[in-house]
């Protein structure tokens, strides 16, 4: 009985996989791209690459900001939590005098 249930589950998974691949192939035939969208627009890619080769830092190019907001920027609650968790991990590993 267990073998029969396992075989039925395997058949269902195979059908699901086949339908997924059919959908992906159909979308690809229509010209849709799968995957994550680029973080930098195609028009800016050359500018960013040139600035990096001239010595600008990655953080400056990405316009990064600190987790706690900083420089009159409000901090997002999730960023404050991430900052707190990071500080807790660092403080537990660093012996205090």
pLDDT value of position 43: 79
pLDDT in tens, the chain (97 residues): 999 999 999 999 999 999 999 999 999 999 888 888 777 777 788 888 888 888 887 777 776 555 445 555 565 566 667 777 777 776 666 555 5
Q: How far apart are CA 50 and CA 56, in angstroms?
A: 9
pLDDT value of position 47: 84
The structure tokens listed for 92 are 């537990």
Contact 34, 27 (CB under 8 A): yes
pTM above 0.85, yes or no: no
The DSSP element (H or E) to which 51 belongs, if any, is helix 42-53
């Amino acid at each position: 009985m267990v073998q029969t249930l396992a075989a039925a589950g395997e058949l269902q998974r195979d059908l699901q996989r086949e339908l997924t691949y059919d959908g992906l192939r159909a979308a690809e035939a229509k010209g849709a791209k799968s995957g994550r969208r680029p973080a930098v627009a195609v028009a800016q890619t050359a500018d960013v690459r040139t600035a990096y080769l001239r010595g600008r830092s990655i953080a400056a190019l990405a316009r990064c900001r600190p987790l706690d907001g900083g420089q009159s920027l409000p901090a997002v609650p999730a960023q404050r939590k991430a900052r707190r968790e990071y500080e807790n991990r660092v403080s537990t590993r660093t012996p205090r005098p």
